[in-house]
């Protein structure tokens, strides 16, 4: 359908990119349909106007259909005649949304625009030849270039420890990446660390409901966060630029490939911290590396070198640090040129039969951790770190 619309655009329109123009998406605002996310929706419509680069007819059809669904509900127009090709393409796109609720359509519209804003950031602000950078993230740098969305953890002075804001931003970036036009998505770290894991100061900000409420909220957030990795639909690749600790290691079992610098280490000191495994590692690690090797890591906190992690199957390939970035990105750019739909479908076949199990494991791990966070063992470990008495 997109190809059809594109060919029509080239034949019929003086300015071919206008075939399904942005104003179509903006003009028919039905104010009665706007409730909870009215502001987000309006902002998104404004953002569409600011896009400098045409997102292509396929995306414009998506925007159009989501807009119509969000404001008018299921397709209520008579089907255009067979020769009215453009209106037929629009009708098909809208009709394909079936009975999708208005609120979901509105949310999908907002998410789609947000991913477009990341990947098609105004070219006037971008030096030629450099990455397009997303704005609005405090703890990440998100860029989209050469078919690759790169999510870079960006708290180098804190060794890329994951604070609460970063958990939320990573989820947002993953959701946007899952819908943008990139073929693959990469997670990496800025600075000398990939990530030092959970920010231990996350445990210090106690809400009025006390530590129990804190632990409960933490478990809810963690479950949602890990769920985003389980459900991520495109090839997801970790570029492990340096040492990785805790949750940044356990999540690797949910990635599709893991490339590591020979400077990287892999450390899950859960027992030392009075905690227990998360990121589905209690299930993925024994499968990847055998139950005994997983026990050495997850129970005894054995730190692996990149070479050891590769030998045990957690890491796909190790590169010398001096050539790491060059070699890995050359390879990733080649991967990103492969047909994206084929890659997505192949990932689905490889991963889908495990999804239900992974969600169940995630739920169980979060529930166990919720209890651990209230234990003396955990509280002492956190206090010791924060009072500078201990480091890994």
Give the footprint of ligand L24GHEU4 on this chain (CB under 6 A).
158-159, 161, 167, 196-202, 218, 221-222, 245-247, 273, 275, 278, 385, 391-392
- Region at 246 (left for phi over 0; alpha for psi -120 to 50; beta for the rest): left
Q: 44 or 162, CB closer to ligand L24GHEU4? A: 162
Instruction: Tell the smallest beta-carbon distance from residue 310 to ligand L24GHEU4 (Å).
Output: 22
Question: Which CB sits closer to ligand L24GHEU4, 227 or 235?
Answer: 227
User: Least separation, in Å, of the C-beta of 257 and ligand L24GHEU4?
Assistant: 22
CB of 282 to ligand L24GHEU4, least distance (A): 13
- Nearest distance, CB of residue 372 and ligand L24GHEU4, angstroms: 9
Q: Shortest approach of ligand L24GHEU4 to residue 120 CB, angstroms?
A: 32
Cβ proximity to ligand L24GHEU4: between 138 and 348 the closer is: 138
**CB closer to ligand L24GHEU4, 25 vs 162:** 162
Tell me how far, at minimum, the Cβ of 19 lies from ligand L24GHEU4, in Å.
46
Contact at 8 Å (CB) between 41 and 34? yes
Most distant CA atoms of the chain, gap in Å: 75
Nearest residue to ligand L24GHEU4, by Cβ distance, number only: 246
CB of residue 328 vs ligand L24GHEU4: minimum separation in angstroms?
A: 23
| Closest CB to ligand L24GHEU4 among residues 149, 198 | 198
Alpha-carbon gap, residue 362 to 291, rounded angstroms: 18
Nearer to ligand L24GHEU4, 1 or 379 (CB): 379
- For ligand L24GHEU4, the closer of residues 178 and 202 by Cβ is 202
Structure tokens at 332: 């990733």
Rounded Cα distance between 119 and 180, Å, is: 7
Of the pair 236, 249, the CB lying nearest ligand L24GHEU4 is at: 249
Least gap, CB of 392 to ligand L24GHEU4 (angstroms): 4
Query: Which C-beta is closer to ligand L24GHEU4: that of 119 or that of 163?
Result: 163
Sequence-separated (6 or more) residues with CB below 8 Å from residue 153: 139, 140, 160, 162, 166, 170, 187, 188, 189, 190, 194, 195
**Tokens matching residue 277:** 């495994």
Q: How far is CA 143 from CA 146, 261, 332, 370, in A?
A: 10, 21, 14, 34
Least Å distance, CB 270 to ligand L24GHEU4, is 6
């Amino acid at each position: 359908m997109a190809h059809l619309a594109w060919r029509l655009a080239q034949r019929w329109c003086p300015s071919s990119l206008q075939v399904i123009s942005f104003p179509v998406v903006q003009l028919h605002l039905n104010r009665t349909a706007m409730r909870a996310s009215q502001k987000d929706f309006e902002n998104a419509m404004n953002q569409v106007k600011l896009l400098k680069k045409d997102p292509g007819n396929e995306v414009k059809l998506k925007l159009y259909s989501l807009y119509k669904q969000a404001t008018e509900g299921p397709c209520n127009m008579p089907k255009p005649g067979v020769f009215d090709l453009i209106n037929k393409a629009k009708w098909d796109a809208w009709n394909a949304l079936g009975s999708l609720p208005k609120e979901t359509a509105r949310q999908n519209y907002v998410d789609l625009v947000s991913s477009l804003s990341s990947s098609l950031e105004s070219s006037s602000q971008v030096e030629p030849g450099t990455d397009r950078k997303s704005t609005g993230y405090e703890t990440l740098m998100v860029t989209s270039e050469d078919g690759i969305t790169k999510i870079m953890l960006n708290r180098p002075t804190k060794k890329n420890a994951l604070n609460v804001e970063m958990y939320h931003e990573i989820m947002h970036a993953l959701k946007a990446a899952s819908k943008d036009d990139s073929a693959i998505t990469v997670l990496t770290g800025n600075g000398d660390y990939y990530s030092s894991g959970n920010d231990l100061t996350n445990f210090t900000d106690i809400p009025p409901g006390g530590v129990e409420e804190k632990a409960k909220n933490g478990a809810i957030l963690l479950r949602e966060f890990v769920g985003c990795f389980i459900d991520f639909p495109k090839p997801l690749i970790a570029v492990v630029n340096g040492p990785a600790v805790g949750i940044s290691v356990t999540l690797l079992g949910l990635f599709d490939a893991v490339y590591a610098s020979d400077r990287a280490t892999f450390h899950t000191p859960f027992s030392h911290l009075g905690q227990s495994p998360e990121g589905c590692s209690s299930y993925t690690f024994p499968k990847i590396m055998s139950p005994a090797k997983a026990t050495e890591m997850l129970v005894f906190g054995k730190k692996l070198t990149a070479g050891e992690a590769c030998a045990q199957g957690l890491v796909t390939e190790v590169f010398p640090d001096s050539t790491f970035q060059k070699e890995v990105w050359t390879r990733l750019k080649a991967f990103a040129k492969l047909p994206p739909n084929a890659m997505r479908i192949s990932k689905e076949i490889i991963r889908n039969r495990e999804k239900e199990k992974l969600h169940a494991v995630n739920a169980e791990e979060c529930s166990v951790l919720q209890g651990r966070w209230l234990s003396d063992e955990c509280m002492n470990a956190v206090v010791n770190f924060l009072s500078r008495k201990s480091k890994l």
